Each structure stands twice: as C-alpha cells, then as structure tokens.
C-alpha cells in the first residue's frame, strides 16, 4: 500500500506536532493527521493570542494525575529549557509575565509556525481535514486506518487528539473511544482551568461586581493560589479561580483571603487609632473599588465609623476579609475551560515511552491522558514533553 508509514499521529495539536518533529528527526516516515482545517488551533488561541508556551519552573507538583509520579520521567527528559532553546533558535521574542510564565511578545502564531517549520524541515507530512473512521490491527501487527481520504497503515500509531475543551475548536472524545477500543480504562472527565458559577441568589447579590478584579489568595482542598480573581456575570473567573477549579468539587466551599498582603486585624486597629472618623466603607475603598467595598460592607452588615467598632467587630471584619467562604454552584463548562481533567488512566501507559500496555505500537500523549497542569504554561510543557518521549520511542 502506498499510504504506508512508520508512524501515524492523529491530532496536529501541541503534542502531536512535537511527536511528529521528534520521530521525523530520528529518520522515521511520519504522517500527522487532523480532522480540522487548520494546524494547532489551540496553540493559536492560547494565552490570549500570545501562547504561554512554558514556565521557568516546572515541577511534578504542578500537575494533577491519579499517579503523581507518572509525569516525572517525561518532564525531566524534555525540559522547559529545551523548548526555550528552540524558541530562541527561531528568534521568537518572549517575556516572563510573572510567576515564570513565558509568553510570546508578538503572537501565538509564531509558536505554531515554528512547529510547522520543524515538521517541514524533517519531512513529517501533515494532512488536514482527515476523518478517521476506523482503526484495526492487521496480521502483521500494523495499524490500518480507514479515513474519508482513503486507507493508511502504520507500524506505530500515536493518539494526540487532546481533551474535550472548546468543542468549536475541534475537540472530540475520539482519543477516549480509541483507548476503550484497545481495553484501556478512561477516567470520568470534567472541565478544568475553568471559571466557576454562582447560583441565582449569589448572582443577584453580586450583580454590581462583574469586571472587578482583586489580587487574592484562594484555597480549597489544601491547595492555595495567590493570583487575581475576577467577578463575572456568571460567577468568578481570573487566574486564581481557574487554578482552584482543578481542585474544587461541586458541593465544596472555597476560601478567599481578600487582602493577602496585609495583617488585617493590625491594619484595622491602626486605622481605628489614626483615622477614627472614617467609616468602614471608606477604609475598604482604599483597597477595593467602590462597588466591592459596598458589597463587603453589606455582607458584613457593618458600615460604622471606625471609632464605633468594638474589638470583636474588628475581629469579625478581619476574619471575613482573610477567609471569605463561598460555595460556587458549578464549573462554567467545556465551552470556556482551558483543559480537561481525567481521561486515559496512566497505569496502562509507559511513563518512559507512552506506549500502551494493552496494544504494542499504540501510544497516547498530551491532554488525552489523565494529566492536567496548573495554569501558567504547564499544559503545553506536558504536550511538548510527552510528545517528545513518544517521538523518541516510536
Ligand atoms: C483558550 C485556551 C487557552 C489555552 N492557553 C494555554 C496556555 O497559554 N498555556 C498552556 O500551557 N496551555 C494552554 N491551554 C491548554 C493547551 O492548549 C492544551 O493543554 C494543549 O493544547 C493540549 O495539547 P494536545 O496536543 O494534547 O491537544 P490539542 O492541542 O487540543 O490538539 C488536539 C488535536 O487533535 C485534533 N483532533 C481532535 N479530535 C480529532 C479526531 N477525531 N480526528 C482527528 N483529529 C482530531 C484537534 O483538531 C487538535 O488539532 C489553553 C487551552 C485553551 C482552550
């Protein structure tokens, strides 16, 4: 058959592109297939159009997986420094946006184009608008793929079809279905790195707040993140909330320190001494916007002059501001979630090669696996690292 390759990769996203480059660089005849009409759509839309392509600090603790050791091997064999070197070879200007998060100064397109150029350089062939209709293993242990554009065969097959986030960008459950076909366990999935919603009562209460952003420390399930929180028309968003959404489960509360840089009780007592005649709302407005200050005073049911506030009231305000407890109603969903939590159980995948323990020659990489990174370039680093590991093993 003409359409015979050593390696076929399904999914021309971050992980698939890296895998194709690595395998082709090693001299393999590679075909990279995607059903979409564009290569790397999520790379293009990532990081607000500037692709947060990695982070200066990559640790296994930045990833969630049922087996916390699974990601270690790949991450240590293809590090952020190797990806940064590639970015520098292409003279792509980048900057640290804070917390080690590296973004393109100009456009995500540069990262996508760099990966496509690498594919061209090593002659990995990319074919778009290809729908895989079925996959079977023939008597020579090769994979036979039936597609809308004909039949293909390969010695190794890599599934890099990502998670379920942003279905309008081409996300499908294809990878999970193939995993099940070959006897893999697939854990339940849910949206992650996603805004959280309020119920109707809380939406009414917070109706004056959308658009307000506050630097906070948010905690849940023994995890704590210090980043910005944003009030929205549906509930809460901003990096702090996206981060905690990886840990929050429906029914749980989240706790928010609204003034993480202050010793709040001391600040209240000092102000009471120095500015006894101002009222609480005015004091809070030195830290928050007018609407947020009013909202918190309403929640506290206090807006006295500072000199009228007793010690126990100052303590109540301090406790409220340092650990505001909220019960979100749910996740905003796959339409806006950056990633998918859950997926293919890593117990049936080699952490060195990403080969399936159920089917020789079959590999799974990237977000389709039960590995989810924190916000900050971690999910792309996982795609690069797992793609590279599989690319070296095929
Ligand atoms: C809005 C947004 C912003 C993000 N920003 C960042 C960021 O700045 N930094 C960061 O680290 N992470 C970011 N992420 C997460 C990151 O994009 C993903 O974790 C990463 O792209 C996963 O790589 P992947 O290759 O596994 O999957 P993807 O990049 O999603 O690629 C999967 C590919 O498979 C194709 N595919 C799917 N189903 C089929 C099928 N049935 N047949 C053929 N092809 C198929 C898709 O078209 C797609 O091209 C962002 C995500 C979103 C949604």
How many angstroms separate the CA atoms of 362 and 307, rounded?
Answer: 71
What pLDDT, on a 0 to 100 scale, did the predictor assign at position 18? 99
Q: Are 173 and 334 in contact (CB under 8 A)?
A: no
Q: Give me the residues paired with residue 227 across strands.
A: 216
Which of 11, 44, 84, 97 to mutate for ligand 1's pocket (most ligand atoms within 8 Å of CB)? 11
With a 6 Å cutoff on the Cβ, whether 80 touches ligand 1 is: no
With a 6 Å cutoff on the Cβ, whether 339 touches ligand 1 is: yes
Kindly report, residue by residue over 199-230, the tens digit of the pLDDT. 999 999 999 999 999 999 999 989 999 999 99
With a 6 Å cutoff on the Cβ, whether 166 touches ligand 1 is: yes
Residue 8's CB: how many other CB atoms inside 10 A? Answer: 27
> Taking the model in full, what pTM does it have?
0.97
Instruction: Find the 178 Cα to ligand 1 centroid distance in Å.
Output: 18
With a 6 Å cutoff on the Cβ, whether 367 touches ligand 1 is: yes
Q: Give me the residues paired with residue 214 across strands.
A: 229
With a 6 Å cutoff on the Cβ, whether 258 touches ligand 1 is: no
What pLDDT, on a 0 to 100 scale, did the predictor assign at position 170? 87
How many angstroms separate the CA atoms of 78 and 74, rounded?
Answer: 6
Residue 204's CB: how many other CB atoms inside 10 A? Answer: 9
Instruction: Give mean pLDDT in consecutive 10-residue pieces for the chain, a chain of 394 residues.
Output: 90 98 98 98 97 98 98 98 98 98 98 98 98 96 97 98 93 97 98 98 97 98 96 98 97 98 97 97 97 96 93 97 97 96 98 98 98 98 98 98
With a 6 Å cutoff on the Cβ, whether 46 touches ligand 1 is: yes
What Cα–Cα distance (Å) separates residue 271 from each residue in 135, 145, 294? 70, 72, 18
With a 6 Å cutoff on the Cβ, whether 337 touches ligand 1 is: no
What pLDDT, on a 0 to 100 scale, did the predictor assign at position 1? 52
Q: Are 355 and 349 in contact (CB under 8 A)?
A: yes
**Residue 306 Cα to chain centre, angstroms:** 43
What pLDDT, on a 0 to 100 scale, did the predictor assign at position 169? 87
With vertex at residue 336, the alpha carbon angle to CA 226 and CA 17, rounded to the nearest 5 degrees, is: 95
Q: Give me the residues paired with residue 216 across strands.
A: 227
Instruction: Find the 230 Cα to ligand 1 centroid distance in Å.
Output: 25
Of 112, 111, 94, nearest in space to 103 by CA: 94
What pLDDT, on a 0 to 100 scale, did the predictor assign at position 290? 97
Kindly report, residue by residue over 280-295, the tens digit of the pLDDT. 999 999 999 999 999 9
């Amino acid at each position: 058959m003409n359409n015979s390759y050593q390696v076929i990769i399904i999914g021309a996203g971050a992980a698939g592109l890296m895998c194709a480059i690595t395998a082709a660089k090693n001299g393999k005849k590679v075909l990279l297939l995607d059903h979409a009409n564009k290569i790397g759509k999520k790379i293009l839309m990532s990081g607000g159009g500037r692709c947060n392509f990695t982070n200066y600090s990559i640790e296994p603790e930045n990833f969630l997986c049922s087996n916390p050791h699974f990601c270690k091997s790949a991450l240590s064999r293809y590090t952020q420094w190797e990806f940064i070197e590639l970015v520098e070879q292409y003279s792509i200007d980048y900057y640290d946006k804070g917390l080690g998060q590296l973004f393109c100064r100009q456009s995500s397109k540069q990262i996508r184009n760099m990966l496509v150029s690498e594919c061209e350089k090593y002659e990995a062939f990319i074919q778009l608008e290809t729908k895989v209709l079925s996959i079977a293993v023939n008597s020579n242990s090769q994979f036979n793929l039936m597609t809308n554009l004909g039949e293909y065969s390969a010695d190794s097959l890599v599934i890099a079809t990502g998670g379920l986030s942003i279905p309008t960008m081409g996300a499908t459950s294809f990878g999970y279905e193939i995993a099940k076909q070959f006897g893999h366990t697939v854990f339940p999935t849910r949206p992650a790195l996603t805004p959280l919603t309020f119920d109707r009562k809380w939406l009414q209460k917070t109706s004056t707040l959308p658009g307000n952003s506050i630097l906070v420390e948010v905690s849940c399930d023994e995890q704590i993140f210090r980043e910005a929180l944003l009030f929205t028309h549906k509930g809460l968003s901003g990096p702090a909330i996206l981060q905690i959404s990886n840990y929050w489960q429906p029914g749980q509360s989240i706790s928010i320190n609204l003034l993480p840089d202050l010793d709040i009780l001391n600040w209240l007592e000092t102000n009471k001494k120095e500015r006894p005649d101002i009222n609480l709302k005015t004091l809070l407005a030195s830290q928050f916007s007018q609407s947020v200050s009013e909202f918190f005073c309403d929640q506290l049911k206090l807006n006295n002059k500072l000199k009228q506030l007793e010690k126990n009231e100052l303590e109540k305000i301090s406790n409220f501001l340092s650990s505001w407890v909220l019960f979100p109603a749910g996740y905003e969903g796959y339409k806006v979630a950056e990633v998918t939590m859950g997926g293919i159980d890593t117990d049936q995948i080699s952490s060195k090669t990403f080969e399936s323990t159920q089917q020789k020659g079959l590999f799974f990489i990237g977000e389709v696996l039960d590995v989810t990174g924190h916000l900050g370039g971690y999910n792309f680093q996982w795609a690069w690292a797992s793609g590279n590991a599989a690319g070296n093993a095929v």
